[in-house]
Structure 1
Amino acid sequence: MLPDEGRYASVAWEMLATGDWLTPTLNGLPFFHKPPLFYWTSGAALALTGHTAFAARAGSLVGAVLGAYALYLFTLRWCGEEKAGRTVPVLLAQPLFFLGAQFANLDTLVAGCITATILCLAHTALCFESNQDYRRSLLLAYLLAALGVLAKGLIGFVLPAMVIFLWLLVRRRWRSLWALISLPGLLLFLLVAAPWFVLMQQRFDGFLHYFFIVQHFQRFASGGFNNVEPFWFYPVALAVCSLPCLFWTKKAFSRSYWRAADGVLPDVRLLMGLTVICIVLFFSLPQSKLIGYIIPAVPALAWLMADLAFEIIQSERARWWWSVSVLASALIGLAVVGALVVKQSYSAKPLSLVLQQQIKPQEPVYMLKEYVYDLPFYARLKQPVKIVEDWQNARQSHRDNWRTELLDAAAFNPVLAKATLLPMESVGISLCQDGGAWLIGRSEMPKDFPFLAQAEQVTASHGQVLWHINAQQAEALGCAKAGSQ
């Protein structure tokens, strides 16, 4: 699906194709919207298992497995085998979690890291409070937080720190808070998380400002980006996406649920409740909202739904209806996947496969007034494409789109940008110099580029057309004439 899956799969592919596993690139240009853990994971899967969409989604699958397994182990240790066995199926049946595990973007990977970090820190605190060894799990928590930073930036440790701090504050466990502060843990965190950022700053002046100030703080505080939604968007979206299991949680509004229990169960319930509240509130503050951002709240909510349901189930009939609720959640996720498989109008895969079969090694590819994110991945392109657009007007827009992404990336490699981001008036001259090329654009592009009337239309799919101009046709254009067009 575009743009996310095409973008992130192509970045992972470019890492594998170029052999540069340090610098993420989008069409050859340094792409620093996000850190590299997803690209490393999916790129490694592409190298090990072959060039498949499944491998391109490996980063998301790893994040989902990490989050689910951490929830299972934590629940098993502190709440028993029965609760662990009934909690994880509820999580796996949630449409947001199920779909996120199969969607090639960074949300589920960082959600898994955040979930595992929170639970590992909570496990450490509970071990400390019960006079059990906690040092190894504390180091593991710092390691997981570092991976969270490499997955999507500062939220990898900010959200776990916020949740655990409030959890200990409400429980008045000040000694536990001090026990979680570890100099060896901090050193491990820096050894894992910091080197990539240091290396990128050494390679690209201004990287740290762009990554942290622009892509973190300005995006969080500014309302000028896409997907502007009201404050209540995430609570409503999370509730709707958790139906029908959410119907069984009415006891959550009872004070007795949070207090009347044996052992550490009240502490675990409080942890899960605060996790959901903190994550929902945190992501509700910015005006720009995407549904995937809320996935870190899903494991804790799934735990609460499973726990609350069995608090009120009193009969076999009630258990049967609860099973139907979980099954219905799973079927919703399967139905969405099935619909996307049947209708793939969002993908340029058919056109890309034709290009892959027919393109010659030295033939360039042009994209006309649109960057088709998934084409480099499906066509297995190893060289950047040339993108033709009115870049002067594009620079005046602050909307978050492919133009902004490429113009931001161009600042880190202006030489390559000059060769690949072509103004509309220069496309004819460039084609003459290349002596033939492949071009992709919408079916109405001949209105803006008259020379396409002389090109061979190779194939078309979902409103996009693939043209080919051979060396003789390019030469026949005449560079001077083409330049005027």
Structure 2
Amino acid sequence: MSAPAPAGKLSRNEWALLALVLLALALWRLGGAPLFDVDEGAFSEATREMLSSGDWLHTTLNGEPRFDKPIGVYWLQALSASAFGVGEFAMRLPSALSGWLWALVLAQFALPRLGRQVAVSATVMLATSLGVLIIGRAATADALLNLLLTLTALDGWRWLSSDSKPALRRAYAWMGLGLLTKGPVAIIVPGAALLLWLFCSLPWRAALARLGRAMADPVAWLLMLGIAVPWYAYALHRHGQAFIDGFLIRHNLARYTSPLEQHGGSIGYYLVVVPLLLLPWAPLLAGVLARVKRHWADPLQRYLLLWAGFVIVFFSLSGTKLPHYALYGATPLVLLMAITLAEAGTTMRAALTVSLLLLLALLCGSALAMGWWLPQVTHPLYKAVLEGQHASPWLAWLSGLAALAVLFLMTQLNRPGWTLALRSGVSALVIAVVALGVALPWWGDLLQGPIKRAAAIAAERNEPAVQWGLHQPSFALYRGQSTPRRAPHDGELALVRLDQLPKLIAQAGGRYIPLYAERGYALILWRAAAPAATSVAQAAP
């Protein structure tokens, strides 16, 4: 038996247990749900097309250049798909491992600075918070970006606190990888945190001197530019102005100055989103706010406050607002919340109990209560997708057992060593296992199952296929071929929405042969030259 670890360390066995539990959570039913459109479908299909073409320096979506994100995450997805085959598990694996490493990096940083309890609590809190559970199993670039932002900012603190050149150079290298993953945000967020701390903590002359030293290291610059510039230079050489317009202007500058793709929101958007993303741990935010003066007095905690505060303010001023932007500030908030948890009492235990049950209701209860809220749905597609569906009996039973387990752990269990942090951590893990294992696959099949099954039928046929009047990129991935968005030509397959089919037929003229229909979607074979359109009733299941 290994000796107990010192207060600021974990023993080898403790590290192994923590890492294995979080890895098991990250991989649990990772491929259990179909890919969600639009983002997961678009990233995954772009990766499939990259593998199919053999061109690993350029991404396309349905044959058209895709400039949304740099190349980094596509490389990881392509490597994963090469090893495990093109599918949900392989496409999500880079995000799952990024989320896992993100949590462990947090523990490794916090242990010597904030102690065992805070470090382990922060790690479990991060891994079980709603926002991280979502992006940690989404086939997108966001989990990887958050890992790299965290590595950069934490090494930034190591440099601030000790003037360590290796830490500074690692931070520049992480920024280079971040530039290769998503773009300028990889520099903006950690760079702003460092700048704000310098000018809030030191006389301005001393702050400028420290900043000058940070920017005068040629090795650091060589690392960052050597990692990022080659691909950017290649993309600019290959695509010219199209790359500048598509990536730099549309997907970076335009995102900040205007609502892109109707993703807008009020100035207070993230004041609502942040607590939701941090469920079930959101009540601890009140404790952080109550201790702001104490946090500010400590240099590290001041850095964490400035990091989180910058993210909330900066993205609140952005024209485009998406929930996952707030996660760029999740790491510092979770560390501050873990400090609060270590000092929490009875009132906070009650608040966390309610919040844990609220998260369970949000993830699982929403499916069980579908009959109650379905009448409020008016959108014709969503109504068709949801109507007549019932949650799995397993979901009802397991959700009930999870609720009882949470109530027992949080209110009845009185055993030595079972601190509030341990009780709430185990409760959050129980909820995550049920939600990821049963609720998410059920929701995935409900929302995306018809697309996946229609694609399977299309894959067995020889006709070309299109997406007509909709954008479901996962259809192309499951079909195994590019599927452009346009009206069909004679003899082509088309994926369509049933509620839009009469209008599309009236506009195009022609008839169709229904091949498959399910809950609002249909796969048809289009015949352009015909005397009359087939009745939409023929497309019913």
Contact 1:443 1:465 in 2 (8 A): yes
Tell me how far apart the structure 2 counterparts of residues 32 and 327 of structure 1 sit (CA, whole Å): 42
Q: Is the 8 A contact 2:50 2:59 kept in 1?
A: yes
Say if 2:495 and 2:521, in contact at 8 Å, map to a contact too. yes
* Contact 1:59 1:109 (C-alpha < 8 Å) held by counterparts: yes
The CA distance in 2 between the partners of 1:98 and 1:388, in whole Å, is 35
Match of 2:106 among 44, 67, 71: 71
Which residue of 327, 332, 340 maps to 1:308? 340
Q: Show the counterpart of 2:214.
A: 180
Q: Distance in 2 between matches of 1:306 and 1:230?
A: 29
How far off is 1:379 after superposition?
1.4
Decide which of 306, 324, 332 is 1:274's aligned counterpart. 306
Residue deviations 1:212-253, cap 9 Å, x none?
223211220124641221111112211233244333452642
Relative to structure 1, the CA distance from residue 255 to residue 455 in structure 2 (aligned partners, 3 Å threshold; closer, same or farther) is closer
**Mapped pair 1:449 → 2:476:** no
Q: How many percent identity over aligned positions?
A: 24
Q: Partner letter of residue 277 of structure 2?
A: C
Report deviation, 1:82. Answer: 4.1
Measured in 2, the distance between the counterparts of 1:190 and 1:353 equals 44
Distance 1:459 1:334 in 2: 34
What letter is aligned with 2:303? L
Matched residues in 1 for 2:431 and 2:269: separation? Answer: 20
Please give the per-residue CA displacement for 1:405-431, whole angstroms capped at 9, x wherever unaligned: xxxxxxxxxxxxxxxxxxxxxx5xx42
In structure 2, the residue matched to 1:364 is: 464
CA 1:319 to 1:313, structure 2 compared with 1: closer, same or farther past 3 Å? Answer: farther
Cα drift, residue 259 of structure 1: 6.3
Structure 1 residue 137 corresponds to structure 2 residue 180: no
2:326 maps to 294
Is the 2:257–2:320 contact (alpha carbons within 8 Å) kept by the matching residues of 1?
no
TM-score (normalizing by structure 2): 0.71
Residue of structure 2 equivalent to 1:197? 232
Map 1:47-446 → 2, pairs under 5 A: 47-128=82-163, 134-172=164-202, 174=207, 175-181=209-215, 182-206=217-241, 207-223=243-259, 225-248=261-284, 249-250=286-287, 252-254=289-291, 257-258=294-295, 266-313=298-345, 320-330=419-429, 333=432, 337=436, 338-343=438-443, 344-347=445-448, 348-356=451-459, 358-360=460-462, 363-381=463-481, 384-389=482-487, 427=488, 430-431=489-490, 436-444=491-499, 445=501
2:221 partner amino acid:
L
Task: Please give the per-residue CA displacement for 1:54-109, whole angstroms capped at 9, x wherever unaligned.
Answer: 21113322432342232122112433444322321111111111111011222222
TM-superposed CA distance for 1:136, in Å, is 2.3
> Is residue 516 of structure 2 the alignment partner of residue 459 of structure 1?
yes
Quote how far apart the aligned CAs of 1:324 are: 4.2
Q: CA RMSD, aligned part only?
A: 2.9
Are 2:458 and 2:465, in contact at CA under 8 Å, matched by a contact in 1? no
Distance in 2 between residues matched to 1:166 and 1:193, nearest whole Å: 25
2:64 matched to which residue of 1?
A: 29
C-alpha distance in structure 1 between counterparts of 2:117 and 2:424, whole Å:
19
TM-score, normalised via structure 1 length: 0.78
Q: What is the CA–CA distance in structure 1 between the aligned matches of 2:51 and 2:214, rounded to whole Å? A: 38
Q: Are the structure 2 counterparts of residues 161 and 447 from structure 1 closer, same or farther at C-alpha, using a change threshold of 3 Å? A: closer
Distance of 2:181 and 2:332 partners within structure 1: 20
Range with greater deviation from structure 2 (100-109 or 321-330): 321-330
Q: Distance in 2 between matches of 1:78 and 1:322?
A: 18
> Deviation of residue 327 (structure 1)?
4.5
Aligned length: 418
Task: Give the deviation of 1:446 after TM superposition.
Answer: 5.2
Write the letter of the residue equivalent to 1:135.
K
3-state DSSP of counterpart to 2:273: helix
Distance in 2 separating the partners of 1:93 and 1:18: 38
Are residue 6 (structure 1) and residue 107 (structure 2) matched? no
Residue 309 of structure 2 aligns to a residue in which SS? helix
Q: Is the 8 A contact 1:2 1:346 kept in 2?
A: no
8 Å CA contact retained: 1:61, 1:101: yes
| 5+ long unaligned stretches in structure 1 | 129-133, 261-265, 390-426
Indicate if the aligned counterparts of 2:315 and 2:326 stay in contact, CA closer than 8 A. Answer: yes
Give the distance between the partners of 1:330 and 1:76, measured in 2 at CA: 21
| Aligned mates of 1:236, 1:213 — CA distance in 2 | 29
Residues 192-217 of structure 1: CA deviation (Å, up to 9, x unaligned) = 11111111111112022432223211
The one-letter amino acid of 1:272's match is: L
Is the alpha carbon distance of 1:85 and 1:327 closer, same or farther for their aligned partners in structure 2, counting shifts above 3 Å? closer
Q: Which moved more, 1:36-45 or 1:310-319?
A: 310-319
CA distance in 2, matches of 1:85, 1:325: 12
Cα shift readout 1:287-339 (whole Å, capped 9, x = no counterpart): 32111111121122111111111134599799644444444544555565443
Stretches of structure 2 lacking an aligned partner (at least 5 in a row)? 1-35, 350-413, 534-541
Distance 1:351 1:283, change over 3 A: same
Secondary structure (helix, strand or coil) at the match of 1:306 reads helix
